[in-house]
Structure 1
Amino acid sequence: MIRNLYGALLFGAGILHFVREKAFMSIIPKSWPFRRLMVQLSGLIEVILGMMLLLNKGTTFVKRTLPAFFIAVFPANVNMAIKPSKIGGKVIPKWITWGRLPLQWVLIKGVEKIK
């Protein structure tokens, strides 16, 4: 159950990196180089890890690497909370962008429950 939930969330988020590439680029600090590449690579990683979980292949590998991935994307989430962010031209409410930050740690801790 948890494995499939994480798999679906990762796979869906990964696909969104390509469908809404500009939205994901907007949450990376503008001073960082290779923003588009970061969005594409993180999206690809999410798609691959999500598929691995959905197919129940390499679950041990995913459990070992997923916490590091969540930590690696955390600065973009912080930037999204600090700066007004838009999706589809609409500003995302601050309670969502700030509420997302502790959720990242819940996701990291939840990786332990993947079987």
Structure 2
Amino acid sequence: MRWLMAAFYLGAGLLHLRSPDAFLPIVPAWVPEPRLVVIATGVAEVLGAIGLFVPQLRRAAGIGLALYALCVFPANIKHAIEGITLAGLPSSWWYHAPRLALQPVLIWWALYVGGVIDWPWRRP
């Protein structure tokens, strides 16, 4: 589970860093310095992915990625409600509804692979 999450966030982070302007349409209007924020999210994703593999940083990386998933939720909501088209992503509710519904799962997953929580599976 840790490898999969790290691969997901590493890929997403590199995409945010390579093409920050592509994500600007979904950044809520109240976010200051949107381009800088998109770049910062890319850095956070890459560092979080790397941190999952450093035992001394794993817990902090899990908490950081969980907070990241919580903080980007408004952008995901805007993306869905306003029907904004982003290259390479579907624009239908068949994509947006599961994505929004699974955001809490991403938060749990980050906390789990970071060793912050062990629910529902107890570690020996």
Higher relative contact order (CA 8 A, sep 6+): 1
Q: Distance in 1 between matches of 2:46 and 2:54?
A: 12
Which blocks of at least 5 consecutive residues in structure 1 are unaligned? Answer: none
Residue in 1 aligned with 2:120?
Answer: none
Q: Distance in 2 between matches of 1:5 and 1:11?
A: 10
> Structure 1 counterpart of 2:42, which letter?
G
Q: What fraction of aligned residue pairs are identical, expressed as a percent?
A: 32
Residue in 2 aligned with 1:35?
Answer: 34
Q: Distance in 2 between matches of 1:58 and 1:98?
A: 33
**Higher radius of gyration, 1 or 2:** 2
Change (3 A) 1:90 1:112: closer
Tell me the matched-pair count. 114
Residue in 2 aligned with 1:100?
Answer: 99
Q: Does 1:60 align with 2:59?
A: yes
Which blocks of at least 5 consecutive residues in structure 2 are unaligned? Answer: 116-124
Change (3 A) 1:93 1:18: same
Give the CA RMSD over aligned residues: 2.1
- Contact 2:48/2:62 (<8 A) preserved: no
- TM-score, structure 1 as length reference: 0.84
Task: List aligned pairs for 1:1-115, cutoff 5 A.
Answer: 2-54=1-53, 58-88=57-87, 92-114=91-113
- Contact 1:11/1:47 (<8 A) preserved: yes
- TM-score, structure 2 as length reference: 0.79
Structure with greater helix percent: 1
